[in-house]
Chain A
Amino acid sequence: MLQAINISKTYSDNTKAVDGISFNFIKGNSYSIIGPSGCGKSTFLLMAAGFLKPTSGRFLIDGNQINKPYDKSVTILQNFGLLPWYTVYDNVALGLKIKGFKKNEIKLKVNDALSMMGLLEFKDYYPSQLSGGMRQKVAFGRVFALKPNIVFLDEPLSSLDALNREKMQDFLLNLWKMEKFMMIIITHSIEEAVFLGKEILVFSNRPAKLVKVIKNESVGDINYRKTSEFFEKCKSVREFIEL
């Protein structure tokens, strides 16, 4: 369990980004965080992932305070997950290499991840040779290879066009169902939030406060998007977002 206890963040130039957020994230569940752009949701995620320190309050994982990135977590940021100088294979292998796995073990896990992502034939490509969607898959491949307990995602799909975006949402949903990690995803798309988050956290304008938590139990069904329940849910999320 990941607990956020009364988290606030004020930057050194005195802008307050996050204001007193408390919430318990349960193991294996999926959470969407949505709010106006620039509201402080990325700051919140970077703190939860252990990259930034809160000005006050604390994050606990299974009761232990986080001071650095938790070693059973992976963070995927908007555009920068992949290193341009490494091939697809080396990018997926990087986490395993850093964690000190043996060479043949790495090979096994990476090839496994790549074939699962449908990327095996692209393993010697560099990121710049891939489309946006494929690059995103490589970043997810890294998650798959590392088998983390928590995955933090900061608008991972925002650079994709609408159709590819839905495809990757399906892909991510399947990955989550299969791997059973806790997923916390930041998005500014209401549909994406509703499609991926079992619970949807709505943040206010800056400084971010937790305005509303919306339960969304039907998440997990690939056809959820086509149901009237989905539209109703989107409508109710929209009501809570200040534009």
Chain B
Amino acid sequence: MQIGARIHRALGYVLAISVLTVMWEILSLVLNTSAIPGIFKIWSYFFSNLPLVLDNAKVSFIRVICGISIAFVSAVLLGLASYSKKVDAVSSSFLYVLYPIPHIVLLPLFLILFGLGETSKILFIAFVVFFQIWMSVRDGAKNIENEYTYSLLSLGANRIDIYRHLVLPYVMPKIFTGLRIGVGSSVAILFFVESFATSKGLGFLVMDAWSSANYPALYAAMMAFAIMGFSMYVVVEILERRLCRWLYL
């Protein structure tokens, strides 16, 4: 039955992709402009220039993974600490002040502090994603019912046991919620930071192809973006099903 469900889901993905492809093809035929090339032109560009695309995708992927990892570790640790009411009282005031700011406008600050190289790009991605994961994990950790804590204490649990057996598994689904949102926005931020002061990465490919009106290259680079975002999303989903098995029975 589980395998059946999986096949079902995969078929759903295939169907969605096919529908979107057909819609693109119709758009291309109707508008009849070189700026919206047919899907086969894009694919043939994508596959005949695969080494170039992969090369840039690799650079982008490393940036985004480093950024997410830094955000993930720091946000999860900080969020988990909100299980303690005292810690939460302090950290939540920072969260409330910092969360509503449109983080993306702080990019110049990162460039000033960390220069134009890789560091500022990675840290900026980390910075934006950090808040999304932090918010989600913190909300989970602070709402754990006392009764759970009592039953663990009655079994002789100390603080470490409580984090291991209660707090961490309790917030695990929240971690994944944050991560899923974070993955989506990290790819968007990636495009933003790669659209200037770099000569590598998928964002650069997009900007470069666009400015030289090389449309098949432009959409091939966009497609690479989409594939990267989608694969990361799928990995998160698989991890969640593994680690939160009790939610998928």
A74/B249 in contact, CB under 8 A: no
Shortest CB-to-CB span from B172 to chain A, Å, is 7
B156/A49 in contact, CB under 8 A: no
With A49-B154, A83-B166: A128-B249 Cβ-Cβ less than 8 Å: yes
Shortest CB-to-CB span from A74 to chain B, Å, is 6
Partner of B150, one of A51, A71, A95: A51
Shortest CB-to-CB span from B176 to chain A, Å, is 13
A74 to B154, CA, bound (A): 5
A85/B147 in contact, CB under 8 A: no
With A85-B244, A94-B165, A128-B249: A79-B147 Cβ-Cβ less than 8 Å: yes
Chain B, 122-145, CB within 8 A of any chain A CB: 145
Q: How many residues of B contact A (CB 8 A)?
A: 21
B113 lies within 8 A of chain A by Cβ: no
Shortest CB-to-CB span from B3 to chain A, Å, is 19
A78 to B145, CA, bound (A): 13
With A69-B156, A99-B156: A84-B246 Cβ-Cβ less than 8 Å: yes
A83/B165 in contact, CB under 8 A: yes
Chain B residues, Cβ within 8 Å of A50: 153
With A75-B151, A85-B244, A85-B246: A80-B157 Cβ-Cβ less than 8 Å: no
B184 lies within 8 A of chain A by Cβ: no
B150/A128 in contact, CB under 8 A: no
Chain B residues, Cβ within 8 Å of A75: 150-151, 154
B151/A69 in contact, CB under 8 A: no
Shortest CB-to-CB span from A80 to chain B, Å, is 4
B246/A126 in contact, CB under 8 A: yes
Shortest CB-to-CB span from A93 to chain B, Å, is 10
Shortest CB-to-CB span from A145 to chain B, Å, is 10
B115 lies within 8 A of chain A by Cβ: no
Q: How many residues of A contact B (CB 8 A)?
A: 30
Chain A residues, Cβ within 8 Å of B150: 46, 49, 51, 75, 77, 80
With A79-B147, A80-B147: A95-B246 Cβ-Cβ less than 8 Å: no
A75 to B157, CA, bound (A): 13
Shortest CB-to-CB span from A42 to chain B, Å, is 11
B151/A98 in contact, CB under 8 A: no
The DSSP consensus for interface residues of chain B is: helix
Partner of A146, one of B145, B148, B155, B172: B155
Chain A, 99-119, CB within 8 A of any chain B CB: 99
B170: nearest residue on chain A (CB-CB)? A85
A129 lies within 8 A of chain B by Cβ: yes
Shortest CB-to-CB span from B169 to chain A, Å, is 4
Shortest CB-to-CB span from A118 to chain B, Å, is 21
Partner of B169, one of A71, A80, A81, A85: A85
A6 lies within 8 A of chain B by Cβ: no
A126 to B151, CA, bound (A): 18
A99: nearest residue on chain B (CB-CB)? B156
Shortest CB-to-CB span from B209 to chain A, Å, is 47
B118 lies within 8 A of chain A by Cβ: no
A83/B169 in contact, CB under 8 A: yes
Chain A residues, Cβ within 8 Å of B166: 83
The interface centre, meaning the residue of A69, A76, A99 with most chain B CB atoms within 10 A of its CB, is: A69
A46 to B151, CA, bound (A): 11
A87: nearest residue on chain B (CB-CB)? B246
A80 to B147, CA, bound (A): 6
Chain B residues, Cβ within 8 Å of A142: 155
Chain B residues, Cβ within 8 Å of A79: 147
B155/A95 in contact, CB under 8 A: yes
B55 lies within 8 A of chain A by Cβ: no
A69/B153 in contact, CB under 8 A: yes
Chain B residues, Cβ within 8 Å of A84: 246
A129/B249 in contact, CB under 8 A: yes
Chain B contact residues, CB within 8 Å of chain A: 145, 147-148, 150-157, 161, 165-166, 169-170, 172, 244-246, 249
Q: Enumerate 12 A-B pairs (CB-CB under 8 Å) in ascending A order.
A: A51-B153, A71-B156, A75-B150, A76-B151, A77-B151, A80-B148, A80-B150, A81-B151, A84-B246, A94-B165, A98-B161, A128-B246
